[in-house]
Amino acid sequence: MTEFVRENRISDGPRGPRRICFRRAAPEQSGRPSSPIVCGPGLHRSLAGPVSRCPSARRLAILRMRSLVAIVLGLLAPLLAYAAEKPLPPLHDGIVVAGPADFHSDGELRIEGHVTLRNLTLHLHGPIRVAAGATFDLEKVDLIVSDPPGAPNGTSGLRCEGAAHVILRNSKMAPAGSAHPMWLLRGQLEVENFQTKNSEFHLDHVQAKLDRLRIFELEISRASQVTAHDLDLVFLSTHSGDDDRLQFADIPADKPFSATLKLGSGASAELHNTSAQLFLVYMHGHSQLALNRMGRVQLAIFPDCKGALTLPHGMVGTAAQPAIFPAPGASNCPFHISMSEVNLDTWDVYAGGEADLTFTHSVVDELTANGNAKITVRDSELYADWLALAGDAQLRVEKSTVGALRLVAERPDLATTQVRLGGRSQAFFSQVRFDCGIFAADQARVEIDHAETPPAYIQRSGSAVVRTSATPAAK
């Protein structure tokens, strides 16, 4: 039987009761270390020498206080950092705001006249609006962009209200949290070393000179003229006009290339030492597109038509027998795409109007529907990089996978993955494997029947309703 020897006993004192400590009696054999000391309930320390004093109640209180202080400081750190930032001063024509300093801007930041920011960090918590005729000049500026929780991509982006002049030199832009900055540019753009993360430039009637630009998506459309060197892109994209005849060939994936391209809607680009992981074409109206020997392609369609479609993926078409989409007789969609030796990755579908389409055995990156569009998806993969319903749109998904959280780490093109519903839209999911969450707002309705894997989360606002049946609880 183990014998315990009382080491000391201290009665209640001014700071409360003190602990009574015991140790096991020392063994009879000499030269062996003593057994562990037991210091009250839950405390156990192993000692190699003679009896040692146990922590007093005061010392334990100090240790607890230190832990509490560390937790409080961790919670206060963001607030302290925000307090250390200066409010960006009111901007006016001719102003130069120079650092080094940290500034923050809350709400809309309006640029009129000639505004220069230099050698500073700017925390943006709202959009930038650049007036027609303005010049916005950034040099050695770090932009850190934040969006409100659950906000759509581009909420805290930049928009030119007319032709303006934007100059970016030796600067950076990165999102905080889930933000995805989108800049809608018009006029003139000069870039000399601008490094970004999860951001997009969309060029509309822009004359651009770009040097050392790293960005998620660079879209060149609508009569934009671009000369560029050393671009590092995830997406190089273009929008067709309503009746374009476009041809692209020999654009590699994720390898430097140089080419002069005639792009969609009257745009053009002279590219030198440019690398893009995917080449993306947005197809509008009655446009026709021919693709040959392409490294990795994503195609986007804007259907207001009816039919049953299979969106091809993988290596598609040969020189002897190009693949044609849509297949003859499958729909009344007016666009026409021919593909020969094309590595077709995924599709984007932006349905509207009175569209009534069924997709089977397809891989879809982004899917949106508004107006009175009705979309059915079966036996397919919806990455839900941006899956959004609005208006009175209806979506039915059966025996498919929705979401791609599992792929985000290995695919930088998957910026977000979520199902979003607003307006009076409706979605019905049957025997679906979810790999993302659901956010429903306004008067939207969602029904989930016999999900093989439940959504990662379900969030509601307004009068939205989400019903599940025979489905494990959402995480």
Report pLDDT digits (tens) over 354-372.
999 999 999 999 999 999 9
Mean pLDDT lowest for which of 40-44, 146-150, 176-180, 470-474?
Answer: 40-44
Percent of the chain topping pLDDT 70: 81
Q: Tell me, what's the pLDDT at 18?
A: 38
Q: What is the mean pLDDT of the chain?
A: 87
First-to-last alpha carbon distance for the chain, in angstroms, is 50
Find the mean pLDDT for residues 215-231. Answer: 98
What pLDDT digit, counting tens, does each position of 404-423 carry? 998 888 887 776 789 999 99
Q: Tell me, what's the pLDDT at 385?
A: 86
Amino acid making up residue 282: Y
Find the mean pLDDT for residues 205-234. Answer: 98
The tokens for 176 are 């905080």
Per-residue pLDDT for 20 more than 60?
no
Residues 6+ apart with CB under 8 A from 368: 349, 350, 351, 386, 387, 388, 389, 390
Nearest alpha-carbon partner for 291 in 319, 267, 268: 319
Q: Contact 154/182 with Cβ under 8 angstroms?
A: yes
Can you tell me the distance from the alpha carbon of 211 to that of 234, in angstroms, rounded to the nearest whole number?
16
The tokens for 442 are 């306004």
Binning pLDDT at 50, 70 and 90, where does residue 56 land? low
Binning pLDDT at 50, 70 and 90, where does residue 119 land? very high
Per DSSP, the residues of 344-391 read EEEEEEEE-TT-EEEEES-EEEEEEE-TT-EEEEES-EEEEEEEEE-T
Better pLDDT: 21 or 403: 403
What pLDDT digit, counting tens, does each position of 259-291 carry? 999 999 999 999 999 999 999 999 999 999 999
Q: Tell me, what's the pLDDT at 227?
A: 98
Q: Tell me, what's the pLDDT at 84?
A: 62
Find the mean pLDDT for residues 379-384. Answer: 95
Per-residue pLDDT for 105 more than 70?
yes
Q: Tell me, what's the pLDDT at 408?
A: 82
DSSP classification of residue 83: H
Q: Tell me, what's the pLDDT at 325?
A: 97
Better pLDDT: 22 or 442: 442
Percent of the chain topping pLDDT 90: 74
Amino acid making up residue 20: I
Q: Tell me, what's the pLDDT at 87?
A: 96
- Burial string for 81-93 (b: 16+ CB within 10 Å, else e) reads eeeebeebeebee
What pLDDT digit, counting tens, does each position of 433-453 carry? 999 999 999 999 999 999 999
Q: Contact 367/349 with Cβ under 8 angstroms?
A: yes
Binning pLDDT at 50, 70 and 90, where does residue 233 land? very high
Q: Tell me, what's the pLDDT at 412?
A: 72
Find the mean pLDDT for residues 305-331. Answer: 96
Find the mean pLDDT for residues 117-143. Answer: 98
Q: Contact 184/190 with Cβ under 8 angstroms?
A: no
